[in-house]
């Protein structure tokens, strides 16, 4: 890889530094569904790993944790805020349900009191009717007849008839009083039953609402603890990343030096070699996989370093065959620092400039320097040697050793 420090204008440099400082310090705003947090975190970690290929293992791990926690924090923050709202709503509902339960209990107590009064009235009326029944059984009707028979004259008879009529009317009123009291008692009993059921339902609802409020409170506490843990993990990762600064910058310098040696060696070969003209046409896709990283300059936000990713990364399983992109001569095959096992093939000249392709991070090299290879011939196996964070092919296209974007020379479909 080629690493170059930024030589832009002073204002551009400070704008970039300010932007990267924000990346490190401020959580990214939430703009996606919380359910996508894991996917966002995974992609953030992949980006960090791609940028930090030449960093130390400790620095890469710290950057991965930093990116993962930063990506996860918006969803965690939203969950905390949402759970607080849920707690407030659940507590309000529980308080309302408790008030309704108390009101229902008071209403039941009032109706139950009226039922007790109605029942007492029934008991009193029943006692009077029982007395009437007893008197009738014991000859009360005969006594009233005898009272009329014993009258001493018409005036006395009329007076005695009035007394008998009053007694009969009073007895009828007592009977009617019992009938009315029973009707009222049944009505109040029905009301009391309804009031009791309403009170029981209100109490059950209040208990359920209180349970929901407690569950919401527990969930809110878990969300808060999770957010605190994310914050602590992120802060710890940032401390580790900062502690690795010197070691990482030293590796970057070593990678720059290695890239300079490779470019100089390939340029020297182009000047001495008598290779013919390139046959033309697009290159063959060197491996079956998917593009995991583009060619181009990248800024490392952790260590404030610009770097040129001198090729295209194509992810594939370890051991996948790597094929020569075109006919040519092997001009380099061996270990190359951060590139791991690294092969370069010269394909001739284009407008007087030597055209080469190179293949990095191989698990095995299957060719030797000086060997001619056909287009499509297997020259190595995919691996993760050197400064690599996973199995992939680092594929380069170079002109007199200088890297160019491989996308310009591969099939547009990358197939």
- How many Cβ atoms sit within 10 Å of the Cβ of residue 306? 16
Q: Name the burial class of residue 95, with classes exposed (0-12), middle (13-18) and buried (19+) by CB atoms within 10 angstroms of its CB.
A: middle
Q: How far apart are CA 23 and CA 301, in angstroms?
A: 7
Question: Candidates 2.20.25.160, 2.70.70.10, 3.40.50.720, 1.20.1260.10; correct CATH number of 249-408?
Answer: 2.70.70.10
Secondary structure of 215-252 as H, E, C letters = HHHHHHHHHHHHHHHHHHHHHHHHHHHHHCHHHHHHHH
Longest CA pairwise span in the chain (Å): 167
pLDDT at residue 368, as a whole number = 97
Q: CB of 199 within 8 A of CB of 106?
A: no
pLDDT at residue 96, as a whole number = 82
Mean pLDDT calculated for residue range 138-151 = 53
pLDDT at residue 44, as a whole number = 59
Secondary structure of the chain as H, E, C letters = CECCCCCCCHHHHHHHHHHHHHHHHCCCCCCCCHHHHHHHHHHHHHHHHHHCCCCCHHHHHHHHHHHHHHHHHHHHHHHHHHHHHHHHHHHHHHHHHHHHHHHHHHHHHHHHHHHHHHHHHHHHHHHHHHHHHHHHHCCHHHHHHHHHHCCCCHHHHHHHHHHHHHHHHHHHHHHHHHHHHHHHHHHHHHHHHHHHHHHHHHHHHHHHHHHHHHHHHHHHHHHHHHHHHHHHHHHHHHHHHHHCHHHHHHHHHHHHHHHHHHHHHHHHHHHHCCCCECCCCCCCCCCCCEEEECCEEEEECCCCEEEEECCEEEECCCCCEEECCCCEEEEEEEECHHHCEEEEEEEEEECCEEEEEEEEEEEEECCCCCCEECCCCEEEEEECCCCCCCCEEEEEEEECCEEECHHHCCCCCCC
pLDDT at residue 338, as a whole number = 87
408 pLDDT exceeds 90?
yes
pLDDT at residue 255, as a whole number = 83
Per residue in 73-102, pLDDT tens?
787 777 777 777 777 777 787 788 788 878
219 pLDDT exceeds 50?
yes
32 pLDDT exceeds 50?
no
Domain boundaries, the chain: 87-220, 249-408
Tell me which of 113 and 149 has the higher pLDDT: 113
- Listed residue (268, 291, 267, 252) closest to 395, CA to CA: 291
317 pLDDT exceeds 80?
yes
pLDDT at residue 393, as a whole number = 97
Segment among 177-191, 267-281, 283-297 with least mean pLDDT: 177-191
Give the pLDDT band (50/70/90) at residue 29. Answer: very low
**pLDDT more than 70, % of the chain:** 69
pLDDT at residue 2, as a whole number = 34
168 pLDDT exceeds 50?
yes
- What are residue 359's DSSP bridge partners? 343, 395
Q: How far apart are CA 354 and CA 363, in angstroms?
A: 27
Give the pLDDT band (50/70/90) at residue 229. Answer: confident
Q: CB of 291 within 8 A of CB of 407?
A: no
30 pLDDT exceeds 80?
no
Mean pLDDT of the chain: 76
Tell me which of 156 and 328 has the higher pLDDT: 328
Give the pLDDT band (50/70/90) at residue 362. Answer: very high
Mean pLDDT calculated for residue range 384-397 = 92
Q: How far apart are CA 105 and CA 265, in angstroms?
A: 94
Q: CB of 121 within 8 A of CB of 212?
A: no
Per residue in 289-313, pLDDT tens?
999 999 998 877 666 778 888 999 9
pLDDT at residue 169, as a whole number = 67
- Listed residue (65, 59, 67) closest to 240, CA to CA: 59
pLDDT at residue 373, as a whole number = 97
Mean pLDDT calculated for residue range 146-151 = 53
Q: Using only the alpha carbons of the chain, give its radius of gyration.
A: 48
Mean pLDDT calculated for residue range 358-383 = 97
How far is CA 155 from each of CA 57, 143, 161, 189, 253, rounded to the nearest angstrom? 131, 19, 10, 51, 143
Q: How far apart are CA 375 and CA 397, in angstroms?
A: 15
Q: How many Cα atoms sit within 13 Å of 271 on the Cβ side? A: 7
Segment among 18-27, 272-281, 388-397 with least mean pLDDT: 18-27
Tell me which of 159 and 246 has the higher pLDDT: 246
Tell me which of 236 and 329 has the higher pLDDT: 329
Tell me which of 197 and 126 has the higher pLDDT: 197
Give the pLDDT band (50/70/90) at residue 227. Answer: confident
Q: How far apart are CA 3 and CA 260, in angstroms?
A: 10
11 pLDDT exceeds 50?
no
- How many Cβ atoms sit within 10 Å of the Cβ of residue 261? 12
pLDDT at residue 215, as a whole number = 81
Give the pLDDT band (50/70/90) at residue 403. Answer: very high
Give the pLDDT band (50/70/90) at residue 333. Answer: very high
Count, residues in the chain: 415
pLDDT at residue 28, as a whole number = 36
Tell me which of 120 and 356 has the higher pLDDT: 356
8 pLDDT exceeds 50?
no
């Amino acid at each position: 890889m080629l690493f170059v420090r930024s030589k832009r204008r002073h204002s551009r440099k400070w704008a970039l530094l300010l932007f990267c400082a924000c990346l490190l310090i401020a959580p990214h705003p939430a703009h996606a569904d919380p359910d996508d947090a894991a996917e966002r975190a995974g992609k953030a970690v992949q980006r960090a790993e791609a940028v930090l290929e030449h960093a130390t293992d400790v620095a890469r791990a710290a950057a991965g944790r930093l990116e993962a926690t930063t990506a996860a924090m918006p969803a965690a923050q939203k969950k905390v805020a949402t759970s607080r709202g849920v707690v407030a709503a659940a507590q309000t509902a529980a308080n309302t349900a408790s008030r309704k339960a108390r009101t229902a209990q008071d209403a039941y107590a009032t109706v139950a009191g009226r039922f007790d009064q109605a029942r007492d009235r029934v008991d009193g009326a029943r006692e009077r009717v029982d007395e009437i029944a007893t008197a009738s059984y014991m000859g009360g009707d005969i006594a009233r007849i005898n009272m009329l028979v014993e009258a001493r004259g018409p005036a006395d008879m009329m007076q005695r008839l009035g007394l008998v009529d009053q007694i009969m009317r009073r007895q009828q009123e007592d009977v009617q009083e019992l009938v009315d009291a029973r009707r009222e008692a049944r009505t109040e009993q029905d009301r009391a039953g309804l009031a009791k059921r309403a009170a029981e339902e209100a109490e059950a609802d209040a208990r359920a609402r209180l349970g929901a409020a407690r569950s919401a409170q527990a969930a809110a506490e878990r969300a808060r603890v999770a957010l605190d843990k994310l914050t602590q993990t992120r802060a710890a990762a940032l401390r580790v990343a900062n502690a690795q600064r010197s070691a990482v910058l030293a590796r970057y310098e070593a990678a720059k030096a290695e890239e300079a040696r490779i470019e100089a060696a390939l340029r020297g070969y182009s000047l001495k070699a008598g290779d013919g003209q390139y046959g033309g046409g697009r290159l063959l896709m060197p491996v079956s996989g998917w593009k995991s990283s583009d060619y181009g300059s990248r800024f490392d936000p952790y260590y404030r370093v610009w770097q040129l990713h001198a090729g295209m990364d194509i992810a594939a399983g370890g051991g996948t065959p790597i094929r020569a992109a075109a006919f040519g001569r092997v001009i380099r095959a061996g270990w190359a620092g951060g590139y791991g096992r690294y092969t370069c093939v010269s394909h001739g000249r284009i407008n007087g400039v030597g055209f080469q392709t190179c293949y990095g991070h191989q698990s095995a090299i299957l060719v030797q320097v000086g060997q001619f290879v056909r287009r499509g011939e297997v020259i190595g196996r995919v691996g993760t040697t050197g400064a690599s964070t996973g199995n992939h092919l680092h594929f380069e296209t170079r002109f007199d050793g200088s890297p160019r974007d491989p996308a310009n020379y591969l099939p547009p479909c990358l197939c």
